[in-house]
Amino acid sequence: MGTSQTAVRTREEQIAQLQGEIKALARERNAVILAHNYERAEVQDVADYVGDSLGLSREAAKTSADVIVFCGVHFMAETAAVLSPHKTVLLPDLAAGCSLASMIDAEQLRAWKAEYPGAVVVSYVNTTAEVKAESDYCCTSGNAVEVVNSIPADTEILFCPDMFLGAHVKRLSGRDNIRIWMGECHVHAGIDPEDIRLQRSLHPQAEFLIHPECGCSTSVLEAMSAGDVDPEGVQILSTEGMIKRPALSDADEFIVATEVGILHRLRRENPGKRFFAANERASCAYMKVTTLPKVKRALERLEHRITVPRAIADRARLAIERMVAIGGQHPMSAVPSPSSDPGE
């Protein structure tokens, strides 16, 4: 027992030492550290800001720091580079990709657009800068409905790349002229109705928080429509919506259907409440490649710098700015106090 406790203390001490060294390096470099909600707990704890990709990119644009260390995945660092072209944006590990963002590239989108001349392209923020540059609007999971509803009702829409979010938006907007790209996040797609049924049976009093990227979200909506699932216990929310929900709710327990990294922040910010993963295996390997030693090395060597060619950045920025101008957050399910931050 003593050896085990010593090992645990040693690991905690090592983490604390690394975090201290990283913070000192950040001060020397005039750097800000941003971490996504899905990152490792120790990486979240060393960050200046923790949030969703759009919120973090906004923080990056506001900060007076010269260097932005983006602990997330590649498309997020690209978005920060687009919004902060005069700052140095670093990604600690170039292996931090995204299965959803890789579902469509600029060439595929141009070919799709050619099939439907006159259609308006709405791309989820979880896309590459090149895809954003080929898009008319970006959107988040929190404001996708507002973005779609801001487009004339008789205009055809191409929605990419997430088919589950697209189906959700099509249902809520009531539009039948939305064509949806068949892409998915492999982590969210792996959360299925069986996981939900098991967790709800184990925690019958818990609220159920679900991200619209989840493969089970469509089936849950259908069950709600049929009366098989009590809608009072279901909240379909962006990641930031999930973070804010516990403070607004009288519930003491929550089942969370998204990547498991978010549980660390939920528990830290709501110590009196309990959170259960809809699927404990819903972990994104791309998010977890970023470690404290890699964050430290990024600051020491100023690597790996993420840049976006100006022509692409200018076009991508237009699509992002249109999204931000629409703002708002559609209450995907009953939320007492919707946020002005649309959320991812």
For each successive 10 residues of the chain (344 residues), what is the average pLDDT? 60 94 98 95 96 83 93 94 95 95 97 97 95 95 87 97 89 93 87 84 93 64 55 81 93 94 96 95 94 98 97 96 69 32 48
Domain count, the chain: 3
> Which amino acid is residue 31, in one-letter code?
A
CB 16 within 8 A of CB 52: no
**Does residue 76 lie within any of the structural domains?**
yes
Question: What pLDDT score was predicted for residue 336?
Answer: 28
Residue 24's CATH number: 3.40.50.10800
**Does residue 254 lie within any of the structural domains?**
yes
Domain residues for 204?
A: 187-282
**Does residue 342 lie within any of the structural domains?**
no
Task: Specify whether 117 is located in the same domain as 142.
Answer: yes
Give me Rg for the CA atoms of the chain: 20
Element (H, E) at 27: helix 2-29
**Does residue 336 lie within any of the structural domains?**
no
CB 323 within 8 A of CB 139: yes
Task: Specify whether 137 is located in the same domain as 165.
Answer: yes
Question: What pLDDT score was predicted for residue 217?
Answer: 59
HSE-up (13 A, CA, CB side) for residue 93: 19
Question: What pLDDT score was predicted for residue 337?
Answer: 34
Task: Specify whether 106 is located in the same domain as 143.
Answer: yes
In three state form, how does the secondary structure of 64-105 look? CCCEEEEECCHHHHHHHHHHCCCCEEECCCCCCCCCCHHHCC
**Does residue 292 lie within any of the structural domains?**
yes
Indicate the Cα dihedral angle 245, 250, 252, 256, nearest 10°: -30
Edge-to-edge order in the sheet of strand 178-180: 137-139, 120-124, 157-160, 178-180
Question: What pLDDT score was predicted for residue 342?
Answer: 45
Task: Specify whether 262 is located in the same domain as 317.
Answer: no
Task: Specify whether 296 is located in the same domain as 276.
Answer: no
Task: Specify whether 144 is located in the same domain as 194.
Answer: no
Task: Specify whether 125 is located in the same domain as 200.
Answer: no
Task: Specify whether 223 is located in the same domain as 263.
Answer: yes
Question: What pLDDT score was predicted for residue 141?
Answer: 77
**Does residue 331 lie within any of the structural domains?**
no
Task: Specify whether 172 is located in the same domain as 235.
Answer: no
**Does residue 337 lie within any of the structural domains?**
no
Task: Specify whether 217 is located in the same domain as 154.
Answer: no
Task: Specify whether 197 is located in the same domain as 162.
Answer: no
Q: pTM, whole model, 2 decimals?
A: 0.85
Question: What pLDDT score was predicted for residue 273?
Answer: 98
**Does residue 338 lie within any of the structural domains?**
no
